[in-house]
Chains A and B, each alone.
Chain A
């Protein structure tokens, strides 16, 4: 028993080394911007670069639009499928794999070919980019929402709400969405992370986005890309921490209210 436990700790430690060693190395490397001293000069260089801010805020904007459009499209669809056509679930699951199977470059060329001539000349509109991002983010959004719906007895709750007089709007806003909070948050952060770093679509549709900027930096600089990598790690972890904190605080609040009245 004891031996077993020691062994699992060993595996855990190995895993941590495998995971953290490159990260630590990258971090150390990113601090070498100045000869012979450790400094944050590479980070400073990143932040003072006006293109960094411009591309980052453009991508953030696109990411937010993608989140809004993606959730508006996918959440009601997922609810509808769960309630009305549960048999279609496996089919949708196959659809969610398509963005992984089909390389984004094919998606990009498809979009360009279809939307570059009238009556649908949208190539120069950011709407097309967002539409493409919604496709890329679709698996993540759908699977988060699907997991959230599976965890909540959607059918039972919706029937209870309906018998109490609730229509679809009430059902959605008073019952389903509040109980989907954790799922929606994780869908949101995943989408943000994916879209902000996305390279292919932005490149081929020729938008000044953050993904192409990072790729460019990677080719031309030494320390700044490492600094960017460390920062994006930090951002992702921050987002995960935020999801945890927000969902936990929701639970604590409810628990607190209950004990208060006891």
Chain B
């Protein structure tokens, strides 16, 4: 039994790191704008396709493409927030939710139109290289994803703690009006957040691609997991998202092991609903009054 459980946990951790990366982007946006970006998963899917096309047309390895895709998506995220989400919602919370929903519909179905619903994968020479980790063999790309996700999370933390931008983001998150009065450009800060959040999914996409597949619906599955991660970790908490992402990866792997593939996902949603109901501020938050 243990012979199966430990590899499952390790493999779960590697998946969880990618979940965490996706969730970091989402939680950053939530923490500052106080809205859920329903287009987050669609942006992940779009980034997967961009990396895929770069690979097929230019032969770029997904890892090599990572900086390019990240830069492109950072800009796309910035522009989306500044010129679509903000403008089209008139700044109303309920409408922001709907605008991001509209974006996800457009991106998902645009991809369906452009790429059809066929499942695609990339061919990389190292896809089946294995690394021995304790009692388990883990595919090399998963180990890379795990390490890279943690590194990116660390970088994000450094940006938040030690840069002017990070300070501005934290200020806006706590008190928008006050920050505005202190001369912080709130719209710019919002857009930077959206950009960074989108860059996170772009990075996640490039790390995922070697071991994963792409379909126009793939974002949907991820975004639900990301929602769960964000809620579990406490909306807006970066550290919480990281821990919750890893945890969920393990929960999913274990549920998959014991309940089978499809029901494995139930574990995630059960966790989601239970947290939303009983600890809406997240697992690690002090109990809400």
A, B bound: no
Q: Please list the residues of chain B having a beta carbon within 8 angstroms of any beta carbon in chain A.
A: none
